[in-house]
Amino acid sequence: MTSVRCASEKAMNPTFTMVLCAVALGLPTAGFLVSALSAGKLPRRVVSFLGPGVVLGAFVATLILLAELLAQPPASRGITVAFWHWLNLSVGSGGGAVARSGFNADFSVRIDSLSVLMMLVITGIGGLIHVYSVGYMAEDPGYNRFFAYMNLFITSMLLLVMSENLIFLIIGWSMVAFVSYALIAFWYQRPAAVTAGRKAFITQVIGDVGLVLGAFLIFLNLRGSGGQLLHSVDLQTIFANVGPGAHNQNGLGSMGGGLVTTIGLLLFLGAAAKSAQWPLHTWLPDAMEGPTPVSALIHAATMVTAGVYLVARFHPIYQQAPVAAGVVAAVGIGTALMAAIIGCTQFDIKRVIAYSTMSQIGLMIFAVGAGAYSAGMFQFFTHACFKALLFLAAGNVIHALGDEQDIRSMGGLSTRMKLTFGAFLVGSLALAGIPFFAGWFSKEELLSSGLALGPAVPWLWVLGVAVNVLTSFYIFRVVWMAFRGQPATSRASTAHEARPVMLIPVLLLAVLATVVGFLNIDFFGFHPITVFSEFLQPVVGTPSAHASAGIQALALVIGTLLSLGGLTLVWMVYGRRLIAADLISRHLPWLYQLSLQKFYWDEIYDVTLVRPTVALAATVTQVLEADLFDELVKGVKQGVLTLADDLRTMQTGFFRDYALIFFVCAVIGLVVLGLRLA
Partner 1 sequence: MNGLFPGFLTLSAAMFALGALGVMVRRNPLVVFMSIELMLNAGNLALVTYARYTHTMAGQVFALIVIAVAASEVVVGLALITGVYRSGRRLDIDDLSEMRE
Partner 2 sequence: MSWPILSVILAVPLVGVLAVVAIPTNRPRLARLVLIGTTGAALGLACVLLVTFLAVPPSSDAQLHGTAAGSSLKAITGPVSFQFQEQVAWLHTGASLSATHAAFNEGNNALNQAGPPPINFSYHIGVDGLSVWLIALATLLFFLAAITLSRRQPGICGFAVLMLLSEIGVMGVLMSLDLILFYFFWEAALIPLYFIMIGWGDENRGRAALKFIIYTVAGSLFMLLAIIGVYFISGASTGVYTFDVPTLMAAESFVNSSSGSALTLFGHSFSLLNAQDWMFLAFALAFAIKVPLVPFHSWLPDAYSSGTTSFLVFFAGIVSKLGAFGFIRYDLTLFPQASHTFQPLMMGLGVLSILYGALSALAQRDIKRIVAFASISHLGFIVLGIFTLNIDGINGAIIQMVNHGLIIAALFICVGAYEVRFASRDIRELGGLAKPMPILAGLFLVAALAGLGMPLLNSFVGEFLILLGAFSVSPAWAVVASLGVILACWYSLRLYQGVTQGRLRLPDGQVEQSADRAVMRLGRLDVGAVELAVLVPLVALIIVIGVYPGPVIRFTRFSAGQYVSAVDRGSAVTAATASSPALSSPRARP
Q: Which CB atom, from 200 or from 516, has the smaller least distance to partner 2? A: 200
Q: Does 396 bind partner 2 (CB under 8 A)?
A: no
Binding partner of 73, given partner 1, partner 2, none, CB within 5-8 angstroms per partner class: none
Binding partner of 229, given partner 2, partner 1, none, CB within 5-8 angstroms per partner class: none
Binding partner of 45, given partner 2, partner 1, none, CB within 5-8 angstroms per partner class: none
Q: Which of 95, 402, 653, 674 binds partner 1 (CB under 8 A)?
A: 653
Query: In 3-state terms, what secondary structure has residue 331?
Result: helix
- Quote the least distance from Cβ 632 to partner 2, whole Å: 8
State how far the Cα of 220 lies from the Cα of 99, in Å rounded to an integer.
13
| Secondary element (H or E) of residue 529 | strand 529-530
Q: Which CB atom, from 216 or from 518, has the smaller least distance to partner 2? A: 216
Q: Which of 26, 40, 53, 256 binds partner 2 (CB under 8 A)?
A: 40
- Quote the least distance from Cβ 635 to partner 1, whole Å: 24
State how far the Cα of 430 lies from the Cα of 424, in Å rounded to an integer.
10
Residue 445: half-sphere exposure toward Cβ, Cα within 13 Å: 32
Residues 46-85 that bind partner 2 (CB under 8 A): 85
Q: Which of 64, 87, 419, 554 binds partner 2 (CB under 8 A)?
A: 87
- Quote the least distance from Cβ 164 to partner 2, whole Å: 16
Cβ pair 371, 453 in contact under 8 A: yes
Binding partner of 355, given partner 2, partner 1, none, CB within 5-8 angstroms per partner class: none
Query: In 3-state terms, what secondary structure has residue 623?
Result: helix
Q: Which CB atom, from 115 or from 156, has the smaller least distance to partner 2? A: 156
State how far the Cα of 37 lies from the Cα of 387, in Å rounded to an integer.
33
Q: Which amino acid is located at 443 in the chain?
A: K
Question: How many binding residues for partner 2 (CB under 8 A)?
Answer: 60
Q: Does 677 bind partner 1 (CB under 8 A)?
A: no
Q: Does 654 bind partner 1 (CB under 8 A)?
A: yes
Q: Does 216 bind partner 2 (CB under 8 A)?
A: yes
Cβ pair 444, 468 in contact under 8 A: no
Q: Which of 652, 671, 672, 673 binds partner 1 (CB under 8 A)?
A: 652
Query: Which range in 410-418, 465-473, 629-637, 657-665 contacts partner 1 by CB under 8 A?
Result: 657-665
Q: 485: how many CB neighbours lie within 10 A of its CB? A: 15
Q: Which of 648, 674, 677, 678 binds partner 1 (CB under 8 A)?
A: 648
* Cis ω before 279 (30° cut-off from 0): yes
Q: Give which of 204, 147, 164 is closest to 180, Cα–Cα.
A: 204
Q: Which of 15, 189, 490, 651 binds partner 1 (CB under 8 A)?
A: 651
Query: Which range in 80-88, 112-120, 170-178, 650-658 contacts partner 1 by CB under 8 A?
Result: 650-658
Q: Which CB atom, from 415 or from 652, has the smaller least distance to partner 1? A: 652
Residues 89-108 that bind partner 2 (CB under 8 A): 89-98, 100-102
Q: Does 175 bind partner 2 (CB under 8 A)?
A: yes
The string over 111-150, giving b where at least 16 C-beta atoms fall within 10 Å of a residue's C-beta and e elsewhere, is bbbbbbbbbbbbbbbbbbbbbbbbbbbeeeeebbbbbbbb
- Quote the least distance from Cβ 41 to partner 2, whole Å: 11
Residues 427-466 that bind partner 1 (CB under 8 A): none
Cβ pair 78, 538 in contact under 8 A: yes
Q: Does 178 bind partner 2 (CB under 8 A)?
A: yes
Binding partner of 659, given partner 1, partner 2, none, CB within 5-8 angstroms per partner class: partner 1
Q: Which CB atom, from 195 or from 542, has the smaller least distance to partner 2? A: 195
Query: Which range in 376-384, 438-446, 615-623, 670-678 contacts partner 2 by CB under 8 A?
Result: 615-623
Q: Which of 632, 666, 670, 671 binds partner 2 (CB under 8 A)?
A: 632
State how far the Cα of 198 lies from the Cα of 196, in Å rounded to an integer.
5
- Quote the least distance from Cβ 658 to partner 1, whole Å: 10
DSSP string spanning 458-503?
HHHHHHHHHHHHHHHHHHHHHHHHHHSS--SSHHHHT--PPPHHHH
What CA–CA distances, in Å, run from 250 to 103, 225, 256, 265, 470?
Answer: 19, 6, 14, 20, 46
Query: Which range in 321-329, 625-633, 646-654, 668-676 contacts partner 1 by CB under 8 A?
Result: 646-654
Q: Which amino acid is located at 478 in the chain?
A: V
Query: In 3-state terms, what secondary structure has residue 344?
Result: coil
Q: Does 659 bind partner 1 (CB under 8 A)?
A: yes
Q: Which CB atom, from 4 or from 609, has the smaller least distance to partner 2? A: 609
Query: In 3-state terms, what secondary structure has residue 275?
Result: coil
Name 80's Cβ contacts closer than 8 Å, sequence gap at least 6: 9, 108, 109, 110, 111, 164, 236
The string over 37-54, giving b where at least 16 C-beta atoms fall within 10 Å of a residue's C-beta and e elsewhere, is eeeeebeeeebbebbbbb
CA angle, corner 358, sides to 353 and 359, nearest 5? 95
Sign of CA dihedral 146, 151, 157, 159: negative
Cβ pair 300, 359 in contact under 8 A: no
Q: Does 660 bind partner 1 (CB under 8 A)?
A: yes
Binding partner of 660, given partner 1, partner 2, none, CB within 5-8 angstroms per partner class: partner 1
Binding partner of 653, given partner 2, partner 1, none, CB within 5-8 angstroms per partner class: partner 1
Q: Does 526 bind partner 1 (CB under 8 A)?
A: no
Interface residues with partner 2 (CB under 8 A)?
A: 39-40, 85-98, 100-102, 167, 170-171, 174-175, 178, 181, 185, 188-189, 191, 194, 197-198, 201-202, 205-206, 208-209, 212-213, 216, 219-220, 613-614, 616-618, 620-622, 624-625, 629-630, 632-633, 636-637
Interface residues with partner 1 (CB under 8 A)?
A: 648, 651-656, 659-660, 663
